[in-house]
Structure formats: C-alpha cells, structure tokens
Structure 1
Amino acid sequence: MVDRGATPAVPPDDWPARPELTLALNRIGAFDWDLGSGRLHLDPSALEILQVPPGTFGGRVRDLAGVVPRADAARLDALVARALKDGSQSYGAYYRVRAQDGTLRWTYAHGHIRRDEHGRPCRIIGIVRDATEELGHLTRPREAEEERRRQTTVVETTTAALAHARTVQEVIDFFKDPQAVLHLGSDLLVLGLIESGRIHLVAEGPSDHFIPGTRYTRIDDNFPMSEVIRTLTPRFIESREEFAACYPWLWERIAGIGISSAAYLPLIAQARPIGALGLLYRDRRGFTQQERNVYIALGSSLAQSIARAMLYDQEHDLAEGLQQAMLPRRIPRIPGAQIAVRYRAARMGRDIGGDWYDVIPLPGGRVGAVIGDVQGHDTHAAAVMGQLRIVLRAYASEGHAPATVMARASTFLHELDTDRFATCAYAEADLSTGVVQLVRAGHIDPLLRHNDGSCRRLPVTGGLPLGLSAEFGRLEYPVTTVELDPGETLLLFTDGLVEQPGADLDDGMHLLADIVREGPVELHLLADRLCDVVEERVGEDDMAVLLLRRHGAATRSFGRLQQHIAPADPEALHAARHMIRAAVRAWGARERSDEIELVADELVTNALLHTDGAAVVTVRMLSGTERRVRVEVEDKSSALPRRRQPGESGVSGRGLLLVDRLADVWGVDARGNGKSVWSEFVVPDRREVHESEAEPG
C-alpha cells in the first residue's frame, strides 16, 4: 500500500539515463557508414556485439571479413544493395556473427539511409543488437537443418561434378577451377597425389596462394597432408593456435592469409593412400561430429573418383602403347614416291581403337599402301589390328595379286579366335608406269588430288569387310585400276576423318575434298592439316591417314616390274597381264604390246601346267645399243622346256613355237632352285616413233 503522505523519492543523478547508457545496457551498438569515402564507424558496443577483437578494426567494411559467415554476408549485402537502389529509407536484417570460440551468435541490424538532394544514398546510420536469445529457440532447429542440407549439397555437388571426370588430369582441372572452393564450401584448398614415394601438390586454389617449397614434399615431413597419409586418418585443425603449435613452418607462411581452421582428408582407395585433400577456412573455428562425418564421406567419394581416373589412365596408356607397338615404327623410303602417314586418337571415347596403316615395298619399283580399321575401341581391337597388319604385309610381300591379298587376309581374320571384323583398302602402285590397282573391303573410297589442286573421290568397287566375306563365302574383291600421274597424290584414310555423329558421310567426303583442295601442297604439311581438322572437333573414333605422291622424276626407261602368280589364282594371272600391258605402253612399245603379252601368257601357262609350284613373271627394259623389253618367268622346276612338233590335231607343244615365232630371241637359264624362261623384244626408240609419225604419207 502506497503512503500518499510520504516525501517523494529523489531521482538518481543520471536520471533520465543517457542514450549511450541505455544502448549499452541493452547490448545495442551504433554504426555510421559514409558511403562516399567507405569509412565505417562502430562504437565500443557495436564492436563487442560483432565479436571484433580490440585493435583489429581499421574503419573499413573489409576489416569485418571472417566475422560474418559468407552465406550471411552475401544475403546482407544483397539486402542493403536492394534498399539503396529502390529508394528505401531504411532496412533491417538478422544475420550471424562468429564468436572467438567459434560459435555463431545472432545479430540484428537496422539502418537509416540518408540521401542527398538528388536522391542518391550517401550515408547509413543505424544500430546493431544481440538477438541470440531472441531467435535462438526459434532458429536453432532450422539452422541445424540448413547446415545438414548444405553439407549434403557439398558432397552431392562435388560427386556429380567428378562423375564425368575420366582421367586424372580432368580431376585435377576440377580442383584448379576457381569454382571448386565454392563447391566444397571452403576458402582455400590443396590437393596432393602420391608419386614415386612423394606427395605432389597438383592443385591449389586460388592459385595466388601457392606456398613455395610445398610442390613436392615427403610423406615423413611435418605437414598435415603428410600426417593424414601416414596415419590414414583425417586431421581437423580447429584454431589458429593449434595450427601454429603443430605445424610451425607451414603456419609461418600461411598466417597472413587469415586461416583459422582446416580439414585434411586422406584419399584412400583399396586400403592404400593415393593422396590427400586439404580444405582451409577463414571464418570458422571447430568442427562438429556431424561435419567430420560429412568430410570423411567426401574424402571417400573423391578417392573413388581419382582411383577410377587412375585406372582409366592406366588402361588407356596400355592400349595406346599396344597400338603404337603394332603400327610400323618407321615408313620405308620408296624410290619414286613420297609418303606421309598420321594417326590421331579420338578426343572422346573409351579407349584406343584398331585403325592402322602400312607401307610395303614390293619388287620391280612397286609399293603397297594399306589403310584399315578393326571394329571396336579397346586393347583387343589393337591386338587384332597388329596381327592383321602383319599377315596382310606377308601376303603382299609374297607377290600375291591385290585381290588375293585381301581374300587371304579375310580368311585369316575369320579363322582367328575373335568376333571382330575389319574394313580395309589396299593400293598397289607401280611407280614406273603410274598404274595403281585398288581393292576395297567395306572401307571408304580414297581421294585423288591432281596436280592443279583439284580433288575427287575415286569410286572403287568393293567387297565385304575382312572376316565377313570369308564367313559368308564371298571372297571376291574386284580390282579397280587408275593411273597416278607424276605429282598426283592418293589419299587413303579411315572413317574417323570424315564421319561425325548425326552427319551424312557424303557431306563429310565433300568437306574433306575441299580441305585437301585448299590445303598446302607439301605432303607432310597437308597431313598435319588433316590432323588439325580432327583435333578441332569432338569425335568418338580414331583417325589414320596415308598420303602417297608419285614423284615426277619416275624412271620409265629402265623399269622392272614383277608379279607373283600362285597356282589356281586367276586374279594374279589377270594382274600380270595388266601389268605387262601397262608397262610396255608406258615404255613406248605399244606396237608390240600384244605380242609381248601373248608370249608372257604362254610362258606363265607352261610354268603353271608343268610344275607344282608358283610362277614369278618379271618384265623390264634393257639398256644398250637398242631398246629391248625382256620378259622372264621363273618357276621351281629344274625340268627344261622342250620344243616339240605337234600333230595335226594336237594342241600341246604349240606354245614354244609361238614364243619362237613372236619373240626376237628367247632362252632358258638354269637356276639353283629352278629355272627361268625368258624372251626379248626389240622396240624402237621413242624419238624414232615420233619422227616416223611426223613424216608425210
């Protein structure tokens, strides 16, 4: 009960309380931010509420870096910027600040925006107050849920980003990207991989924070990355003091960066360490048990990604090494021709493929050029390619006709214990005459570049791919014959040069013809240009290319051509006839070509009928006082031919009579392992022919 008659109490001397006291007692501070100069004033209460240590604030907003978590700072900056832009007079926001012990406390800030006479913001005057008790019981569950969601997002985002990394370099590139620290939620990161017993720092971010002397370190060094690799357990450094005490050398070099805590994670795959990842933070102290569990899961996921990439690199290196070993180590020098070859692996795709090329020197100034592609993109395709290349080279070197070479290679692949087939194109070029015999097994047509730079597609009649033709009993490979003039270039290539997903093959061929037409004249520069075309686009197939150019200074007067003819090989017999016909015409003996061809045919037929083995026919031009074409047929039989007088109705015996009648001279030479039946034909000099053709009448 109040005594109304009592003398009123005397108010305190400081009554009413001054605003400074009122604000301090209620944990409210004041700030004044001059937008023009950027200066920021915080009174002592504001500095205490914001957990800014005495003497560390320099009057700039950047001095508060690390006090407010980045997510809250970004949200607060966006709110203030919007208020300044939309003409608002004030704003208010809740955000968190990090205390010295690493805990987060809620803070509320309210600012009044002053503007000049033009309406431009020039100053913000406001207050900050502690809101931890006010919001703690309301936001703690939500805050915990948001943190769990953020941590889960870090793992999911990082795992998804690395899911497409197939090689170790692609993994390294991910960590070198400035966005990596955002994916991982850290301020800095370092990634080290074990190489030859040392730790190689392969990525750091941002790159301007690289510390000299840490590119290569030993596993027994006193570094946190070395420690986690030795112990196979993560290392959580929760304060600056702990960092400085445990790793003094490293701390001296990163103290200026503002690091307050770090998490170092061992990367373990198949129970062995392959490296370590360090995540460094500026604005946090301490790690909860839930955060530690998330980091351990993140390290395990990263280790699996890197181990998968390492395995891919190993398999790729094995396949690439296998293919390089299967391809020719060098291209032989071929008199009368210039040759350039190139191979490029796909920029996309699982592995190395079965593309190959080969150049085969043949007797008589001839050369065989091969391009092919075994089905598949793996080590098995490369292995099959190597076997097929060697077999095809052997058949060609034995002297078989191009069609026979292709048929026998198909039979070999069919009998090989594999389910692969192969496409192939084989060209046998006679550099003396320029005659090129082409066969194709399901492969792309070659191109021919003329001396004027024009380029056209050579339509080559083809057969089934190697392996399939033998399986279906269709071993016929038609021969297409073209003439390669001096200076002209034959282009053989695999489909990786012209095919792209979703594009028409004919369009690719037209584009390639345009590139060749506009490309450099020098053969090796042209080959490099074709490789550049492949590297400029993303494809899923390898590419091999072989360019064969006939020199202008080909020796025609003293050429020597040779053809191996096996028993029961009509294609080889046909090829020999074509060779002789083309040779004698190229040497200026057109008027005697029918006689020479007929005599050669008789000698070859005798060899095949009366011996058990193959025959080798050779045609060449002899130099001397008169020009002579010499035809030789060799066989393995020592029995000499006998010239007999046939009966009136007989057929046998007429062959040598025909040879004797048509050839200017013929004979038999005994060889140690057989014999050679030869015949010679005198042909007029080219100048004599031209002069006689020029005489009137």
Structure 2
Amino acid sequence: MDDRVVGALSLPDDWPAHPDLSLALNRMGSFDWDLDSGLMHMDRPALDVFDLRADEYDDRPGTLGQRVPSDESTRLDAMVAQALKNGQSTYGAYFRILRRDGTLRWTHTQGFIRRDGTGRPHRIIGIVRDATQELADSTARRELDEDRRRRTSVVESTTAALAHARTVKDVIDVLKNSQGLAHLGATSLVVGLHEAGRIHLVADGPVGSFVPGTRYTRTDEPYPMGEVIRTLTPRFIESADDFATSYPVLWPHISGLGITSAAYLPLIAQARPIGAIGLLYSDKDGFTGDERNLLIALGSSIAQSLQRAMLYEQEHDLAEGLQKAMLPRRIPEVPGAQIAVRYRSARLGRDIGGDWYDVIPLPGGRVGAVIGDVQGHDTDAAAVMGQLRIVLRAYAAEGHSPATVMARASVFLHELDTDRFATCTYAEVDLTTGVIQLVRAGHIDPLIRDGDGSCRLLRAEGGLPLGLSAEFGRLAYPVSTAELDPGQTLVLYTDGLVELPGADLDDGMQLLTAMVRNGPQDLQQLADQLCDAVDERGGDDDVAVLLLRRKAAHAPRPGGRLQQHVAQNDPDALTASRHMIRSAVRAWGAKERADEVELAADELITNALIHTDCGAIVTIRVLTGPERRLRVDVEDRSSALPRRRDAGVTGVSGRGLMLVERLSDAWGVESRGTGKCVWCEFIVPEREQPPGVTERTPILPDGNRK
C-alpha cells in the first residue's frame, strides 16, 4: 500500500538535492585542506565567497592573502594553530574579507580536523559562507535589545532619582534636570496638579511656551491634560496634524514651537488622579508599543513621587505652623541690649524639630536668654518644645535663680510623660554690670564676640540634659559667671549650626568661630549669614540662633542705692524707712518730688505689712539711662499679687494702688522666686555736679552708708 502511494507521487528528477547544490544555494562553499602537502582545494561556491575566479586560485592557502586583511589572517592562523595544538576536532570563526570593489564583507568558516592513529592532524575539511545578513540581523537584534535596555534604564534611573525628591519642586527639577527626558527623546514637559476640579500647571514646558490663561484650567476644558484626567487614559498624539485637529484651542498658541508629537499621561495614585504630565517631542512621529508601555510605567513612578511630595508638603506646612506657634511671636525690646534671633528648619529629614530660643526681660536691668533643643524631628518634638519654653519662661519670670530655673524645667519635662529630653543653655545677663550667670544642660558652649570682631569660646561647666537630670536625681546645675562688656556679643546656638556631615564637632566649631569673627558687625546681617551657611551645606537638623549684644550708649549706669528691712509690728523700722526715703530723694536732687515718692513708698510698705504675714524689704535707687529715674522696690515673701479695688464712697481702704498709679510715672509687680516685688518709678531731672564732685550717698539714721 505504502509503495503504491509513494510511486504515485510526482517528484523532481533531482530530488533529493545533492549537498553541493544545497551549499551553493545558501551561499556556502567547501574546502579540503591537506596539511601534509599544504594544498587546499576550494570548490566554486567557496571561491565565490572569497570573490575569486577559478584561474586566480592555485590551491595554495597563501593565495587567499589577497582577500584576507593581514590582521584577520594573523588572527585566523593563530586560532587554527591553537585548535591543532590543543587536540580539538572542530573550530569556527567570523572574519572579514576584502572584495574586489574594496569593501569589507563578513564571512564565517567552520572546519573539522581529521587526525591519524597517533593523534597527529593531517587534514581539515570545512565550509566557508557569507555571514553578512546573519551579522546584520544579529546587530539589529542587539541594537533593539540595547534600545530596550536603555529605555528601561531611563525609567529605573528616573525612579531612583525621584526617590530622593521630597517636594513637588524637587520632582519637577528631577524630571527637568535628569537625562531621562533626553534619552526618551522628549524636548520638554508640562506637569499639572489636579486640585478640586481644576488643573494647576506647575511646569510650563519649553521657554516661551506658556499659554496665558492656562495656569489654572478646569478639567472639562478642551485641553489634553483635562482629557486624560477625565478619562484616566493616556493620550498619544502622533503628529502635528493630530494635535491641531484634536485640540484646536491650544494648538495655535504652540504651533510655532516645532512640536511633532506628544504623550499626555494621567498621574494616578491610590486609584484617583492627582495630575497629568505631558512629554513634548520635536523630531518624532508616532509611538511604538514598547515606547507607550515605558511611558506609562514612567507616569506611574512620577505619580507615586508626586503624591509623596504633596503629602510631605501638607505635613510640613502643619509642622511649620506648629513650630511658628510654639516659638515667640516677637522678641521684646530690651533697653541696653541689641538682639537678633533666627530659626531655620532642616533641609533634609522632616524639616521640623524641637529647637527654640527665647528672650525674657527681667527686673533690675536684667534679661534672660534661652537656647534649647528637644530631642527628635517631628511634630511631637515641636509640641514638647513649646510647653518647655513656656514653663522655663515662667520660672525665670518668677525670679528664680538660673540653676533653679533649669532644675524646675527638668522636673517638668520628666513629669510630662514623654520619652524626650532636651539640651538647653540659660544665660541671665545684668545689662547694668555686664555680669552673665550661665547654666548649661547638656548644650554646646556659647561664643563671645568682642567689639573688634575677635571671637572665643565661653567655657561653662554643665549638667545633664533637661529630663535626664530629674530622672537620675542630679538636679544641681552649676552656675558659671562671665562678663559681657559694652559692644560684646553673646552667641547662643543649637548643634545644627556646627554639625557638619562627615566631620568632627571641633571642625564645625572652628568654622562657626571663623564665620562669627569675619561676619558683619550688624547683628541681623550676621544672623542671616550664619543661617545662609547652613542652607548652603544642607543637613538633617534644624537650627536656632540667638545673638545678644550689650549696648554701650544706653547701658544703665548705677546711681545711689539704699535698702531697709521693715519687720512686722516694728514702728521704728517704718519710721526709719520713711526717713531714708526722704533723705535719699533730697540728696539725689529730686526734692521737688520728695512728697510724692514718700507717699507712694509709704502706701507700698503699708500694703506689704497689712496683707502679708512677714516683713518687707524697701530699696530705693537711681537708674540713669536715656532718662534719670528714681525707683522704689518693696519686696515681701507672699506670692499673692496686689490688685486694685473700688473703695466705694465710704470705704476706708482700697485706694492705695490708685494713689501709687497717680503719683508715680510707672509702677508694676514682679514675681520673684521667694515672693514678689511691687515697684514704682519717678522721672527726676539730671543733677548738675561741680567738676570733680560725685553723687553723694545719703547717710542712714544710724550714721552708716549702705
């Protein structure tokens, strides 16, 4: 049956084809190389591969040298010799030949080595063939693969760069400044953010391409960004005609930019559109499937980065608002001092922290300067900072000593039920004498800048950070004393100003000292310069700076000062205090106001004796500054503050403070660590002293001078 079927088939006469025909039709030739005689036979197809005629070849391999460049010939000879030596049975290689017209053509040879019984090679039988098309196809495949790898690497590199972008501006800068767009062939880009049914354009495209009225557009307007946000589908514009036909409102404004195609992609995050991006091309027509897939992948990466950036900016705005609310809204004017303060958030990290400063006016020409840093960089650190700043200010205003202020603040922080601690420096400066009482709680030593610009470190013994000292029961903070001369500046700062990436703290201190030494004389300019230096180098910590300069021209100068203790149920002491006040006022050239001063002082002393269970300390002194003032202080150990009351028509009390207010030029109450002080001041004229005569201190009733 099978034989009948085969016999019935009609087959070509030359079927099956002879191997020589198969080789010839596929542009292959054969050779037989006798290694003993050195002769190499090549058939006609083989000679055609080498572009030789039969009469040009004499069966000797050397004759092929006219078609094989010397470098290729050397490489082939070495390869064959190595194969013969190593006992190989086959070899193969690609090489180039030189055709008659002078062009090079790729060729491939493959040989089988025959050996005798001893393993000695004596014959090579093989083929040669034209490899031009094969290598061309291989090159094309490699180029295609390389192009795919390049495009994929563009997405990967752009995604990696976007991972470090923290704000929307950072994202736009990465897209504009990276090589990604150039590798994708895009000329420029436009980016819009979706906000409550509108699109806010945040990247305008090429220079001069902004279309007036498109900064904010509605999603239902006939623009490509609105379309992709509405449909959540990419829009690939294949040509300029496609652009003009699809968007006739927009095209007339950008037709002169030479745009030939564009790709608009919706930016989708968490299943909702947050914006759109457009890639504009000036020398491209159409998009392949691979290009579209890569652009869609790029759009997804950009969307995730933009969402992170938008969430970060929202959190940053909230944290920054909290930080501003926790810092002092304004720095009070302090007579005798010039003050500059700055706060700079970190340029890395979460941009918010617990650094703070404060300036606290204190009685008697004193001022408290505070700089501190709560552990952490988040909104919790800022909240703890605000609470700590307020209580530290309250303790200082109550009149406690610097060491007590720090100790109480540490106890407060420890009892706040938080795991945070804080470093802090509190400096109490007497602007009258220039004496500084300094307390450090784990903070960096401050600097002193002299009037001539020279700068030095102010070494001060320190204690544990706030919170930790209370936890470990080490609340005794040492107080260091220094002097601030007129014209000198106290420089307080947090560690973000001196911590340099990859450098020791000493290097940062030396750099800061140099900046303060060489900085401008104006305090505001100096503070700006210090913060600008931090901005330039970046960093992961926020910075607070407080500069306090003692002014020479308006520093209060002490005049006279007398003090008297008045005990309960001691009429003689009360009489002595009245006599002291009367004598002092006359001796200091304020005789015309003697009655007013004596009456107001008598009211304050009487109130202290009647409304408290202890005595009073009366101090009268002269303050000379922009205007000469006589001040009366009455201190007692009661924390109850006096208040004005309506005495009524028949009342016998309640008019004392009203009388003090009418008689004096200023009055007030100051909390002290051991009680309170009620004071009043009277402006008195400057005394004209004869040359060489100094102001005389009056003599107390017992004949002594205070």
Q: Is the TM value for this pair above 0.5?
A: yes
The 8 Å contact of residues 234 and 263 in structure 2, kept in 1 or not, is answered as yes
Aligned partner of 2:670 in structure 1 is none
The 5 A counterparts of 1:596-675 are 619-621=619-621, 633-636=635-638
**Letter of the 2:537 counterpart:** R
SS for the counterpart of 2:249 is helix
The 8 Å contact of residues 442 and 464 in structure 2, kept in 1 or not, is answered as yes
Tell me the distance in 2 between the aligned counterparts of 1:505 and 1:311. 34
**Letter of the 2:388 counterpart:** L
Aligned partner of 1:362 in structure 2 is 362
Q: Alpha carbons of 1:407 and 1:293: their partners in 2 closer, same or farther (altered >3 Å)?
A: same
The 8 Å contact of residues 154 and 185 in structure 1, kept in 2 or not, is answered as no
Aligned partner of 1:472 in structure 2 is 472
Aligned partner of 2:237 in structure 1 is 237
Q: Alpha carbons of 1:93 and 1:270: their partners in 2 closer, same or farther (altered >3 Å)?
A: farther
The 5 A counterparts of 1:178-327 are 179-195=179-195, 197-327=197-327
The 8 Å contact of residues 266 and 273 in structure 1, kept in 2 or not, is answered as yes
Tell me the distance in 2 between the aligned counterparts of 1:453 and 1:618. 43
TM-score (norm 2): 0.61
Cα shift at 1:147: 4.8
Tell me the distance in 1 between the aligned counterparts of 2:308 and 2:191. 17
The 5 A counterparts of 1:40-119 are none
Aligned partner of 2:555 in structure 1 is 554
Aligned partner of 1:461 in structure 2 is 461
The 8 Å contact of residues 351 and 542 in structure 2, kept in 1 or not, is answered as no
Q: Deviations over 1:323-380 (max 9, x none)?
A: 1111001001112222111112222233211110001111222211101011111111
**Letter of the 2:400 counterpart:** H
Q: Alpha carbons of 1:687 and 1:414: their partners in 2 closer, same or farther (altered >3 Å)?
A: farther
Q: Alpha carbons of 1:202 and 1:629: their partners in 2 closer, same or farther (altered >3 Å)?
A: closer
Tell me the distance in 2 between the aligned counterparts of 1:322 and 1:339. 24
The 8 Å contact of residues 176 and 205 in structure 1, kept in 2 or not, is answered as no
Tell me the distance in 2 between the aligned counterparts of 1:416 and 1:395. 16
Q: Alpha carbons of 1:310 and 1:560: their partners in 2 closer, same or farther (altered >3 Å)?
A: farther
Q: Deviations over 1:586-642 (max 9, x none)?
A: xxxxxxxxxxxxxxxxxxxxxxxxx99999867542599xx999885412399xxxx
Aligned partner of 2:82 in structure 1 is none
Cα shift at 1:234: 1.1
The 5 A counterparts of 1:480-519 are 480-519=480-519
Tell me the distance in 1 between the aligned counterparts of 2:506 and 2:529. 20
Cα shift at 1:256: 4.5
Aligned partner of 1:388 in structure 2 is 388
**Letter of the 2:638 counterpart:** K
Tell me the distance in 1 between the aligned counterparts of 2:466 and 2:678. 37
SS for the counterpart of 1:207 is coil
TM-score (norm 1): 0.61
The 8 Å contact of residues 429 and 435 in structure 1, kept in 2 or not, is answered as yes
The 8 Å contact of residues 623 and 631 in structure 2, kept in 1 or not, is answered as no
Tell me the distance in 1 between the aligned counterparts of 2:353 and 2:336. 32
Q: Alpha carbons of 1:144 and 1:232: their partners in 2 closer, same or farther (altered >3 Å)?
A: same
Q: How many residues align?
A: 477
Aligned partner of 1:111 in structure 2 is none
The 8 Å contact of residues 440 and 463 in structure 1, kept in 2 or not, is answered as yes
Aligned partner of 1:125 in structure 2 is none
Tell me the distance in 2 between the aligned counterparts of 1:347 and 1:243. 42
Tell me the distance in 1 between the aligned counterparts of 2:281 and 2:423. 58
Cα shift at 1:561: 12
Q: Alpha carbons of 1:279 and 1:531: their partners in 2 closer, same or farther (altered >3 Å)?
A: closer
Aligned partner of 2:68 in structure 1 is none
Pairing 1:448–2:445 present: no
Tell me the distance in 1 between the aligned counterparts of 2:614 and 2:353. 37
Tell me the distance in 1 between the aligned counterparts of 2:232 and 2:308. 20
Tell me the distance in 2 between the aligned counterparts of 1:323 and 1:614. 44
Cα shift at 1:458: 1.3
Cα shift at 1:490: 1.4
Tell me the distance in 2 between the aligned counterparts of 1:414 and 1:167. 36
SS for the counterpart of 2:506 is helix
Aligned partner of 1:22 in structure 2 is none
Larger radius of gyration: 2
Aligned partner of 1:538 in structure 2 is 538
Q: Deviations over 1:296-341 (max 9, x none)?
A: 2221111001111111111222211111111001001112222111
- Which range is displaced more, 419-428 or 347-356? 347-356
The 8 Å contact of residues 158 and 178 in structure 2, kept in 1 or not, is answered as no
Tell me the distance in 2 between the aligned counterparts of 1:283 and 1:264. 17
SS for the counterpart of 1:371 is strand
The 8 Å contact of residues 633 and 677 in structure 2, kept in 1 or not, is answered as no
Tell me the distance in 1 between the aligned counterparts of 2:384 and 2:492. 20
SS for the counterpart of 1:485 is coil
Cα shift at 1:92: 9.3
SS for the counterpart of 1:424 is strand
Q: Alpha carbons of 1:677 and 1:447: their partners in 2 closer, same or farther (altered >3 Å)?
A: closer
Cα shift at 1:402: 0.6
Pairing 1:153–2:127 present: no
Q: Give me the identity figure in percent.
A: 69
Tell me the distance in 2 between the aligned counterparts of 1:215 and 1:677. 62
The 5 A counterparts of 1:310-459 are 310-459=310-459
SS for the counterpart of 1:248 is coil
Tell me the distance in 2 between the aligned counterparts of 1:135 and 1:211. 50
Cα shift at 1:153: 2.5
Let me know the Cα RMSD of the aligned residues. 3.9
Cα shift at 1:190: 2.0
Q: Deviations over 1:219-270 (max 9, x none)?
A: 1111111100111111122344433322123333444444443221100112
The 8 Å contact of residues 341 and 527 in structure 2, kept in 1 or not, is answered as yes
Cα shift at 1:459: 1.2
**Letter of the 2:252 counterpart:** E
Tell me the distance in 1 between the aligned counterparts of 2:210 and 2:289. 30
Q: Alpha carbons of 1:345 and 1:690: their partners in 2 closer, same or farther (altered >3 Å)?
A: same
Tell me the distance in 1 between the aligned counterparts of 2:161 and 2:177. 12
Q: Alpha carbons of 1:174 and 1:637: their partners in 2 closer, same or farther (altered >3 Å)?
A: closer
Tell me the distance in 2 between the aligned counterparts of 1:287 and 1:167. 31
Cα shift at 1:384: 0.8
- Unaligned ranges ≥5, structure 1: 1-88, 95-131, 563-610, 639-673, 679-684, 692-697
The 8 Å contact of residues 158 and 183 in structure 1, kept in 2 or not, is answered as no
The 8 Å contact of residues 561 and 620 in structure 2, kept in 1 or not, is answered as yes
Tell me the distance in 2 between the aligned counterparts of 1:636 and 1:258. 85
The 8 Å contact of residues 176 and 204 in structure 1, kept in 2 or not, is answered as no
**Letter of the 1:219 counterpart:** T
Tell me the distance in 1 between the aligned counterparts of 2:615 and 2:505. 43
Cα shift at 1:447: 1.4
Cα shift at 1:209: 4.5
- Unaligned ranges ≥5, structure 2: 1-100, 107-131, 564-610, 641-674, 680-688, 697-706
Tell me the distance in 2 between the aligned counterparts of 1:467 and 1:616. 36
Q: Alpha carbons of 1:245 and 1:561: their partners in 2 closer, same or farther (altered >3 Å)?
A: farther
Tell me the distance in 1 between the aligned counterparts of 2:282 and 2:502. 50
The 8 Å contact of residues 402 and 437 in structure 1, kept in 2 or not, is answered as yes
Cα shift at 1:531: 2.2
The 5 A counterparts of 1:125-136 are none
The 8 Å contact of residues 338 and 548 in structure 1, kept in 2 or not, is answered as yes
Tell me the distance in 1 between the aligned counterparts of 2:617 and 2:458. 29
The 8 Å contact of residues 434 and 485 in structure 2, kept in 1 or not, is answered as yes
Cα shift at 1:559: 8.2
Aligned partner of 2:527 in structure 1 is 527
Q: Alpha carbons of 1:330 and 1:142: their partners in 2 closer, same or farther (altered >3 Å)?
A: same
Tell me the distance in 2 between the aligned counterparts of 1:613 and 1:444. 44
The 8 Å contact of residues 432 and 559 in structure 1, kept in 2 or not, is answered as no
Cα shift at 1:431: 1.8
**Letter of the 1:403 counterpart:** A
**Letter of the 2:351 counterpart:** D
**Letter of the 1:329 counterpart:** R
The 8 Å contact of residues 176 and 203 in structure 1, kept in 2 or not, is answered as no
Q: Alpha carbons of 1:408 and 1:612: their partners in 2 closer, same or farther (altered >3 Å)?
A: farther
